[in-house]
């Protein structure tokens, strides 16, 4: 096991914080769940604090506890809901609650990094409170501030501006690996860990979300078909192997279905189709779109899963018409189509999740913008040497 010189602490809420939270929860016309949400804590935790307060185990100021009698004097709803001071107190406690999360990112860093963190959040939270959290002296911080900005700090400031620009241009989709590669391709000669540190200190975190895949019913699978990719090496040029799949996207309580076709060699999305119905019409529309764009090579291996939207007679006729050879996953081996699984993971994490769409047309427009203006042309793919699919194809030409 590695030895950690500065192990991360388990942060705890102060007694003062708990007492104030409990007192707020006992105000008339304010629900405990609203207080918990405002402070960013779990309702069960607030419920436990309320119990400890009633039993006398939680008293932070020595004053008389809030009366719990049902006959206590009730304030008007207007006095509570419009009380600006109470709202301000909730905001302040919420900032204090968020402080351990921010401190944890630099608590194991150098003294200079911790001073820089205090300088950034001092006005918002308070210098003395931050010094206490970061285990440094206020006098040391003020002495550090009087020394002026070092050449290294100035360099970090300039570099951070470029990092922020790359991060914003990707709409928050780039983490430190892709930001680093973008900088390197722009001529910067820097270390990966420096980019990681600057992004961490600036709070620049890529869109990351857990993506789950809805599994179709087993009755939709057809047993026939073989995996032609097992008998050959990976594609060495465009238009040798195309892969396709269908995924589910929930839109205002209804399922929509996205069929996508990708060139396995370059990872380029060749065509796609979106519909409320998962049928062969969905997949044939995507294939015909690719052909219409002028991409119609012969003897392409077209790999999919075993869903009926790909194995149905209508779609099979289209493959024969364009001289393509169908290949399917082995039963129970969804990783045989890992390229498409990876794309859908990126799509949902970078665009779909945490985004509200007014309707299917807006979803269609955003998908077009993501695929044509970002994924195919700009996004750096680790599997092809941190190049965009179109650039990778042009290099192979």
Q: Which residue has the higher pLDDT, 106 or 32?
A: 32
Considering the domain boundaries, does residue 6 fall inside one? no
Shared domain for 375 and 285, answered yes or no, is: yes
Among residues 337, 340, 316, 338, the alpha carbon closest in space to that of 227 is found at 337
Considering the domain boundaries, does residue 142 fall inside one? no
Shared domain for 58 and 190, answered yes or no, is: no
Shared domain for 185 and 63, answered yes or no, is: no
Q: In the chain, how many H helices and how many E strands?
A: 17, 5
Shared domain for 38 and 175, answered yes or no, is: no
Among residues 63, 65, 30, the alpha carbon closest in space to that of 51 is found at 65
- What is the phi/psi pair of residue 221, to 5°? -95, 150
Tell me the pLDDT tens digit for each residue of 308-357. Answer: 899 999 999 999 999 999 999 988 787 888 999 999 999 998 898 878 89
Q: Is the dihedral of CA 337, 342, 347, 349 positive or negative?
A: positive
Q: In the beta sheet, which residues pair with residue 381?
A: 387
Query: What's the token pair of residue 276?
Result: 């409320």
What's the distance, CA 272 to chain centroid?
23
Residue where a domain terminates, one of 104, 119, 137 = 104
Q: How confident is the model at residue 2 (pLDDT cuts 50, 70, 90)?
A: very low
Please say whether the beta carbons of 266 and 362 come within 8 A: no
249: containing domain: 218-396
Tell me the pLDDT tens digit for each residue of 221-253. Answer: 555 778 888 888 888 899 999 999 999 999 988
pTM of the model: 0.59
């Amino acid at each position: 096991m590695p030895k950690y010189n500065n192990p991360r602490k388990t942060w705890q809420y102060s007694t003062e914080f708990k007492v104030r939270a409990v007192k707020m929860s006992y105000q008339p016309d304010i629900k405990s769940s609203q207080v918990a949400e405002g402070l960013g804590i779990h309702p069960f935790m607030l419920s436990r604090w309320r119990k400890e307060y009633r039993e006398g185990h939680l008293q932070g100021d020595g004053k008389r506890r809030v009366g719990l009698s049902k006959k206590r004097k009730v304030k008007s709803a207007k006095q509570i809901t419009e009380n600006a001071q109470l709202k301000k107190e909730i905001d302040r406690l919420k900032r204090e609650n968020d402080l351990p999360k921010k401190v944890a990112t630099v608590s194991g860093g150098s003294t200079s990094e911790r001073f820089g963190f205090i300088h950034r959040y001092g006005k918002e939270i308070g210098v003395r409170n931050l010094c206490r959290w970061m285990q440094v002296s206020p006098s040391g911080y003020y002495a550090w501030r009087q020394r002026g900005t070092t050449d290294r700090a100035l360099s970090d400031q300039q570099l951070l501006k470029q990092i922020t620009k790359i991060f914003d241009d990707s709409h928050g989709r780039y983490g430190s690996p892709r930001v680093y590669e973008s900088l390197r391709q722009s001529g910067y000669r820097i270390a990966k860990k420096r980019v990681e540190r600057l992004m961490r200190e600036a709070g620049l975190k890529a869109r990351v979300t857990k993506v789950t895949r809805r599994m179709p019913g087993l009755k939709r699978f057809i047993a026939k078909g073989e995996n032609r990719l097992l008998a050959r090496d990976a594609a060495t040029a465009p238009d040798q192997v195309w892969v396709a799949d269908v995924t589910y996207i929930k839109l205002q309580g209804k399922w929509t279905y996205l069929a996508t076709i990708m060139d396995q060699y370059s990872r380029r999305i060749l065509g796609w189709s979106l519909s409320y119905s998962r049928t062969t019409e969905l997949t044939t529309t995507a294939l015909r779109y690719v052909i219409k764009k002028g991409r119609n090579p012969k003897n392409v291996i077209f790999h999919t899963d075993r869903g009926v939207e790909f194995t149905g007679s209508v779609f099979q006729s289209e493959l024969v018409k364009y001289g393509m050879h169908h290949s399917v996953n082995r039963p129970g081996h969804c990783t045989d189509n890992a390229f498409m699984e990876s794309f859908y993971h990126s799509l949902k994490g970078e665009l779909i999740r945490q985004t509200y769409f007014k309707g299917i047309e807006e979803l269609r427009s955003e998908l077009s913008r993501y695929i044509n203006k970002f994924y195919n042309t700009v996004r750096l793919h680790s599997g092809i040497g941190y190049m965009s699919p179109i650039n990778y194809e042009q290099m192979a030409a």
